[in-house]
């Protein structure tokens, strides 16, 4: 369709609201379709749909190079998504018998991206693997296989390969409680979990068996600090409840009024 001059000056075009731009890192893998067998960049569509339905725009970030804080500042928010196990070397542990193969390039790319996002003052939402990565970057550790941890229910490991419904309680006064309330039933699929919590983070949600299901920045309830919330469950799997995505998009929208990093910064 060809554009004419009137299209460029349509009523209201200059005053249209700019939707917050949310970065979603992708990861490389093998894609087979038809006659093609290629190296491709992946991200499940449910994350893209959740951000879009919450009012944000999506920027898919391929893991080809590191982003510095000035480049990340071009975004308005960041979501670190679910996926495979993190290499235990990232939290100073030996590989356990149940830990899956490492994707070291993804670990490095997303860790660097997260550090740059925090330096740039972006609001961040971590989901499952994303929560584990955030904890590791802050110096925390992980349980490498929840079914072998005394006191934690077997169902938390989601070893059946299916999403399971889990009741979660939030900590009073936390950002997570302000967003989703005192309790919620969520969709879980993780055989690893948070153990020691990293510096600058605090626990904001538990499952009934004590498994840590949510963390957030210690200063996340401050108006001056960017949102940092991470959960072990998968909010993208409940499309009728977009509260976490909406909170991230809203925080990203507020950041739009903050000047981007100057070239001489």
43 and 27 Cβ atoms separated by less than 8 Å: yes
Predicted TM-score of the model (pTM): 0.88
Tell me which residue range forms the domain holding 110.
19-255
Residue 260 lies in a domain: no
Residue 223 lies in a domain: yes
Question: What tokens does 136 get?
Answer: 């590791």
Specify whether 128 is catalytic. yes
- Is residue 234 included in any domain, yes or no? yes
pLDDT for the residue 134: 98
**Catalytic site residue from 110, 128, 138, 191:** 128
Point out the residues of the chain with pLDDT beneath 50: 13-14, 262-265
Asked whether residue 149 is domain-assigned, the answer is yes
Please say if 216 is a catalytic residue. no
In a domain, 11, yes or no: no
What are 149's two structure tokens? 């941890």
Which domain CATH number covers 108? 3.40.50.880
Give the number of domains in the chain: 1
Looking at the domain assignment, is residue 68 inside a domain? yes
Task: Give pLDDT, residue 6.
Answer: 57
List 110, 213, 216, 236, catalytic entry:
236
Q: Which of 138, 143, 190, 234 is catalytic?
A: 234
Q: First and final CA of the chain: distance in angstroms?
A: 42
pLDDT at 172: 96
What pLDDT score was predicted for residue 36?
Answer: 74
Active site residue 155: no
Residue 13 resides in a domain? no
Decide if 25 is inside a domain: yes
């Amino acid at each position: 369709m060809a554009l004419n001059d009137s299209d460029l000056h349509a009523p209201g075009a200059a005053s249209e609201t700019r939707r917050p731009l949310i970065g979603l890192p992708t990861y490389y893998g093998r894609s087979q379709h038809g006659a093609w067998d290629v190296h491709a960049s992946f991200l499940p569509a449910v994350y893209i749909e959740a951000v879009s339905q919450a009012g944000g725009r999506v920027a898919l970030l391929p893991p080809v190079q590191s982003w510095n804080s000035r480049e990340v500042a071009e975004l308005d928010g960041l979501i670190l998504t679910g996926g495979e196990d993190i290499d235990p070397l990232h939290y100073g542990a030996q590989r356990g018998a149940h830990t899956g193969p490492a994707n070291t390039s993804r670990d490095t790319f997303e860790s660097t991206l997260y550090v740059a996002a925090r330096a740039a003052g972006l609001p961040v939402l971590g989901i499952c693997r994303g929560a584990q990565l955030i904890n590791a970057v802050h110096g925390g550790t992980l349980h490498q296989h929840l079914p072998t941890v005394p006191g934690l229910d077997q169902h938390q490991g989601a070893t059946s390969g299916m999403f399971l419904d889990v009741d979660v309680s939030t900590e009073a006064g936390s950002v997570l409680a302000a967003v989703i309330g005192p309790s919620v039933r969520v969709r879980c699929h993780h055989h690893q979990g948070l153990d020691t919590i990293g510096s600058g983070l605090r626990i904001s949600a538990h499952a009934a068996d004590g498994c840590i299901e949510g963390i957030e920045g210690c200063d996340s309830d401050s108006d001056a600090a960017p949102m940092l919330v991470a959960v072990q469950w998968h909010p993208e799997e409940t499309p009728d409840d977009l509260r976490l995505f909406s909170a991230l998009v809203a925080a990203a929208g507020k950041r739009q009024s903050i000047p981007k990093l100057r070239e001489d910064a």
